[in-house]
Structure 1
Amino acid sequence: MNRQLLADFEATWVPRVNTYLDENLREVSDRAELTAAMRYSVLAGGKRLRPLLSLAVLATFNQPITAAELRASVALELMHTYSLIHDDLPAMDNDALRRGQPTSHVKFGEDLAILAGDALQPLAFQWLADSGLPADKLAKLTLGLAQAAGPQGMVAGQVADVKSTGTQLTLPVLQQLHREKTGALIHYAVLAGAIQAGVSEPVQAALTTFGDAYGLAFQIYDDILDVTSTPAQLGKATHKDAGEHKNTYPGLLGLAGARQALQTAVASAQTALDRTEALSQTDTALLASFLTYFTN
């Protein structure tokens, strides 16, 4: 795993993603307050991990990243941001800080925050639909994103999360919760790159196995950071999960057990990339570099 590969890729694409979001959200609504609330949360920063994963799959398979591929990939950040706005609401996690800034409902009020999230979700599909990609790919992308974000994906995981607070889950149930809540959009990010790159079904399956393992690792790592970091380091409140009796990997397995589970998930992701490489005869070092995120 080469950390510099990831750093170079981020240096190239994060500014392009941010510029694209900035330029394309300037006149997104004829309601100034709505535009401001949407822009506030989308442009607040973040790793842009999900569009980066899609773009990295395209780069891995030497697929030219045209305006169409960029728009389709960046659309996922709109869906992700909608989920963060709603996740922070008082009825959900009741967070006042996100990426080092006041959350949307703190800044704009609950009503406008909800509506900003409501607007970003369909806008993600709009950007997919008008991206200019071929119709067969658009159909697969639209279905994949709907499944990832909907009642068998991210929303299902959020329901499981809020309804299980105060009740200790078994490890398999906790893993299923996070496959839906966190993992579904990461799965889709990798799937979207595979669809756009036009890889074979076996290669797509190996790639999405990587995405699933990556999503699990991402959640375990986030749970560990909630225990071991400060609010200044994370840009959001820490130690909230334990205080609110939420189900987490350190809470279930202990910190050492959570770290072992993280190592297992990372190893599974690497195994999936090894299979991808064997099936496609394509170097997957760029995708493997994303695993260095968990070695910080």
Structure 2
Amino acid sequence: MEITTYLNEQRQRVEDRLAALMLDPVGAFAQHIESMRYSLFVGGKRIRPILCLAAAEAVNNNEQTRQCALPVACALECIHTYSLIHDDLPAMDDDDLRRGKPTNHTIFGEAAAILAGDGLLTFAFDLLSSPVSAALADPVRLRLIQTVARAAGSLGMVGGQSLDMIYAGKQVGYEVLRSIHRSKTGALITASVTCGALVAGASEEQEEALKTYGDHIGLAFQIVDDLLDVEATTEQLGKPAGSDIKSDKVTYPSLFGRETSRTMAREAVQEAIAALAAFNHQAEPLRALANYIVNRKK
């Protein structure tokens, strides 16, 4: 399939629904909401919500499934955006550029940026539990909420970011590196795929296969991110190139070198695609997404 067209179409679906669901910057909280909206709508590939939509389509590609998956996909993008706002803060990675635009704290100040991130995180759970997801049975919604909470929390993304900070500047081995990135990056990617499976009513076997797919592309995504940090330009990335080196972070290229890292990413993508063996042509977007992730230039 032509992945660029698919990505553009799905990205527009996510953008349109985000615009419809997101709070308007009016009233007493207008400035706070404006800071939330700034980072949410400043751009982005929307990979996580698209993975959610593609996974749902792989299981049950009908209009009801597609519509039910959209608010869930939007919630995932809110959580991802919150994590970027906080990652960019001076106390964390101290970056002043994200998605080709000034970072949130450089526009609104540190306190407002922290609160914008907090607002997006909690708004995500509002979406997952609100009437916009009412077409989903309550047990499904509870599983969605738990899946996202665990992926975003102390044993997932937040915990991974904590490890990333703790081990910056230290000599560590592969197990620590793998733990950092499985949590910091991989957990939300896997959760995005798993949520799509849950929305579509996947069987246990389908859900497990999609989770395996998510685990492997999460690894590939992070390895490619590490490679791009040393190979791409700031203009290409939309964020400062070389930030991992500046922060003395442990990365795949720093531990294994570029070529071995590239091989590891390709192998992870092959494993991801192999996990989809039992799925028919409806999973073709997931297969194409895996290849896109390993070949992307930004």
Partner of residue 284, structure 2? 285
Does residue 111 of structure 2 align to residue 111 of structure 1? yes
Q: Is the 8 A contact 2:54 2:283 kept in 1?
A: no
Equivalences for 1:1-296 in 2 at 5 Å?
A: 2=1, 4=2, 6-27=3-24, 30=27, 31-61=29-59, 62-64=61-63, 65=65, 67-130=67-130, 131-132=133-134, 133-274=136-277, 276-277=278-279, 283-293=282-292, 294-296=294-296
In structure 2, what is the Cα distance between the partners aligned to 1:245 and 1:49? Answer: 27
Most deviating of 17-26 and 184-193: 17-26
CA shift for structure 1 position 283: 4.5
CA pair 283-66 structure 1, distance change in 2 beyond 3 A: closer
Give 1:244's aligned amino acid.
S
Q: Is the 8 A contact 1:187 1:208 kept in 2?
A: yes
CA pair 115-263 structure 1, distance change in 2 beyond 3 A: same
Q: Is the 8 A contact 1:98 1:235 kept in 2?
A: yes
Q: Could you say what secondary structure the match of 1:284 adopts? A: helix
In structure 1, what is the Cα distance between the partners aligned to 2:71 and 2:262? Answer: 36
CA pair 243-69 structure 1, distance change in 2 beyond 3 A: closer
Q: Could you say what secondary structure the match of 1:95 adopts? A: coil
Q: Is the 8 A contact 2:105 2:113 kept in 1?
A: yes
In structure 1, what is the Cα distance between the partners aligned to 2:258 and 2:161? Answer: 23
In structure 1, what is the Cα distance between the partners aligned to 2:295 and 2:77? Answer: 24
Q: Could you say what secondary structure the match of 2:90 adopts? A: coil
Q: Number of matched residues?
A: 289
Q: Is the 8 A contact 1:22 1:39 kept in 2?
A: no
Which 4+ runs in 1 deviate beyond 3 A? 65-68
CA shift for structure 1 position 7: 2.0
In structure 1, what is the Cα distance between the partners aligned to 2:71 and 2:272? Answer: 27
In structure 2, what is the Cα distance between the partners aligned to 1:107 and 1:74? Answer: 24
Q: Is the 8 A contact 2:14 2:73 kept in 1?
A: no
1:133-161, Cα deviation, whole Å (9 max, x unpaired): 22111010000011000111001100000
In structure 2, what is the Cα distance between the partners aligned to 1:164 and 1:113? Answer: 25
Q: Is the 8 A contact 2:53 2:66 kept in 1?
A: no
RMSD, aligned α-carbons: 1.5
Q: Could you say what secondary structure the match of 1:182 adopts? A: helix
Most deviating of 157-166 and 264-273: 264-273
1:187-221, Cα deviation, whole Å (9 max, x unpaired): 10000011011111111111100000000000000
CA shift for structure 1 position 63: 3.8
Give 1:210's aligned amino acid.
Y
Q: Is the 8 A contact 2:52 2:196 kept in 1?
A: yes
Give 1:262's aligned amino acid.
A
Q: Is the 8 A contact 1:38 1:120 kept in 2?
A: yes
CA shift for structure 1 position 282: 6.0
Give 1:220's aligned amino acid.
I
CA shift for structure 1 position 222: 0.4
